[in-house]
Amino acid sequence: MHSRKPFYLFVALLFALGLSASIYRGIEHHVPFLPGEQVQSWTVDAKVSFQGKGVPAEVSFSLPQDPAFEILVENTTSPGYGLTISNNEHDRRAVWSTRDAIGKQDLYYKVTLIPTGQIQIAAPDTPPAVEEYLWPATEQTAAEKVIEEVWSRSASNLTFAQQLMAVITGKDRSQNVELLLSSQSPTKLFVRMLHSKGIPAMEVNGLYLEDQRRRQQLSSFVEVYHKQQWVLFDLNKGTQGRPNNLLLWERTGRSVLDVMGGVNSLVNFSMLQDTRSALATSIDLMVNKNALDFSLYQLPLEEQSLFKSILLIPIGVLMVVFLRVIIGIKTSGTFMPVLIALAFIQTTLLTGLIGFLLIVSFGLMIRSYLSYLNLLLISRISAVIIVVIGIIGLFTMLAYKFGLSEGVTITYFPMIILAWTIERMSILWEEQGPKEVVMQGGGSLLVATLAYLAMSATWVQHWVFNFLGMHLVILALVLLMGQYTGYRLLELKRFKPLAGE
């Protein structure tokens, strides 16, 4: 007997591969693990307006680039303008241009964002170089005094920034700080003081996302470099850290809006919160990234719906293997129950069961007449197939006439399979009596019903279609059950007389 080790290794490999592929898909592509899951999305409208001066105008507007939000859709409305979206590593900007802008000009940018939950802002290992700010002579002494005083009370970049913010935003500010604030905003002062100590920091602009707000403005924040991360400080509120509903719009230290050839430029934001299907969202995101390679969503819709039912077959097969190998239920025809269960999915369970019993019992009646005709096997089966089609047609017509729309779905039954089922049942009846027919037919229907229940569960359908790795897991399970040499459940009953001493 050869070693079983390679086999178990192979099964374990399939299992691990299938499981990790599924988990990868769930985490990396945000495919939800449960069906019907919802995600929040934000739709932000930016309205850029300015007064044209009748000369060529060029408007450069920064676009959001925030690891905490993924862009699902973005579009612009700007009739009469040429548009380029420049997209380099650190900076995304929309540039509108026109030859002739007179009077009030409105440009719109609309973006739909999905929160990714990635609140931390990663920074490069080597901090960017800092350009030291040259204080004006009138401020230099005051600034140096404040800086040295705070420096002595701090231990790191972070604590220095924290102390500095306390000094700038505190209620009882020193005279030195008041002096410095008279000529610059707290945010600017904060950044300049950090730069004086060579600490990388930059001013960024963010937008607080609140449902159904209009005419919102960007707020200023400061990012301070600390241990490969950017820590966010809000000098206006005197807080540190990042609120969940904050969208960082501009993170390069450049201006948000540059208008050449226009005056009174202004940008306004309005926003709307929405919930949408997590699955649809992840598909849209994958389409954006061209990451659909191993997903069935790249197929045309018709093939997709075909695959939706094909991919359920492994579940039905798994069920049949389990019920036969572990439980020990007898069925007529090995995988006939799976095909019947597939038909049940179209017809729903009750209609399916009634339809199946009707067709088979009618078929058996007609088949018993065919027995008398003394036909060759092949022509008898062919006759049964034609009769089954006739029965299905008749029942469909009757159901339609009586307004039973469920009855029309009876056409989904696989006719050849039904014909063979009728033939087998009929022979079984002649040879072993009606009891065995009821036993085996009932067993098949029971297995079909259980397979149907497994296949129709929404989360099962969601998993087999969206996580293709699950099929490797099913394969591993089927292989494993093929090695099961233990007792079947029904054998425990059968061999009960042998259980004693």
Partner 1 sequence: MKYAWPWQLRRNGVLNMNMRNINYIGRYNPRKYYKRVDDKLLTKQLALANDIAVPDLIGVIREQHEIADIPEMVRGRSGFVIKPAKGSGGKGILVITHVEHHRYYKPNGHEITPSEVDRHVSNILSGLFSLGGKTDVAIVEGLIEFDPVFDGYSYEGVPDIRLIVFKGFPVMGMLRLSTTASDGKANLHQGAVGVGLDIATGQGLHAVQFDCPLEHHPDTGKRLIDIKVPHWDTLLHTASSTYEMCELGYLGTDMVLDQRKGPLLLELNARPGLAIQIANGKGILPRLRHIEAMRGPSMSPEERVAYAKTHFSSSSVS
Judged by the rule CB under 8 A, the positions of this chain that interact with partner 1 are 1, 325, 328, 374, 376-378, 427, 431-432, 483-489, 491-500
| Pairwise CA distance, residues 188 & 175, whole Å | 18
Candidates 417, 400, 421; CA nearest to 409 is: 400
Contacts of 442 (CB under 8 A, 6+ apart): none
- Residue closer to partner 1 by CB (options 95, 439) is 439
Read off the tokens for 244. 């969940």
Give whichever of 317 and 464 is closer to partner 1, judged by the CB atom. Answer: 317
Residue closer to partner 1 by CB (options 296, 325) is 325
Give the residue with the Cβ less far from partner 1, 294 or 495: 495
Q: How far is the CB of 320 from partner 1 (least distance, A)?
A: 15
d(C-alpha 321, C-alpha 316), whole Å: 9
Q: What are the residue ranges of helices labelled H in 269-376?
A: 278-289, 301-310, 313-321, 336-347, 349-372
Specify the residue, 137 or 378, whose C-beta has the smaller distance to partner 1. 378
Structure tokens at 231: 């820590």
The dihedrals phi and psi of 399, each to the nearest 5 degrees, come to -60, -40
Cβ 376 to partner 1, closest distance in Å?
A: 5
Q: How far is the CB of 496 from partner 1 (least distance, A)?
A: 5
State the helix-helix crossing angle for 377-401 and 415-456, rounded to 10 degrees: 60
Q: Minimum Å distance from CB 417 to partner 1?
A: 14
Report how far residue 42's alpha carbon sits from residue 112's, in angstroms, rounded to the nearest whole number: 6
Smallest gap from residue 377 Cβ to partner 1 (A): 3
Who's near 444: CB < 8 A, 6+ residues apart? 331, 332, 333, 336, 337, 340, 421
Angle among Cα 305, 344, 338 to the nearest 5 degrees reads 85
Q: Which is nearer to partner 1, 403 or 486 (CB)?
A: 486
Strand residue runs (E) in 130-228: 201-208, 213-216, 219-226
- CA 225-231-234 angle, 5° bins: 120
Closer to partner 1 by CB, 130 or 326: give it.
326
Question: Smallest gap, in angstroms, from Cβ of residue 416 to partner 1?
Answer: 14
130 or 439, CB closer to partner 1? 439
CA atoms within 13 A on the CB side of 227: 4
Q: What six digits make up the tokens of 208?
A: 């607080």
Nearest distance, CB of residue 67 and partner 1, angstroms: 54
DSSP 201-262: EEEEEEEE--TTEEEE--EEEEEEEETTEEEEEETTTTEES--TTEEEEE-SSS-SEEEESE
| Of residues 381 and 399, the one with the C-beta less far from partner 1 | 381
Closest contact distance (angstroms) between CB of 328 and partner 1 is: 7
- Coil/strand/helix, residue 1: coil
Q: Which residue's CB is nearer to partner 1, number 153 or number 494?
A: 494
Nearest approach in angstroms of CB 19 to partner 1 is 26
CB of 366 to partner 1, least distance (A): 18
Indicate the helix (H) or strand (E) that contains 17: helix 5-28
Residue 498 CB, nearest distance to partner 1 (Å)? Answer: 5
In this structure, what token pair is assigned to residue 376? 């060759």
Closer residue to partner 1 in complex, CB, 403/497? 497
SS3 92: strand
Phi, psi dihedrals of residue 267, rounded to the nearest 5°? -130, 135
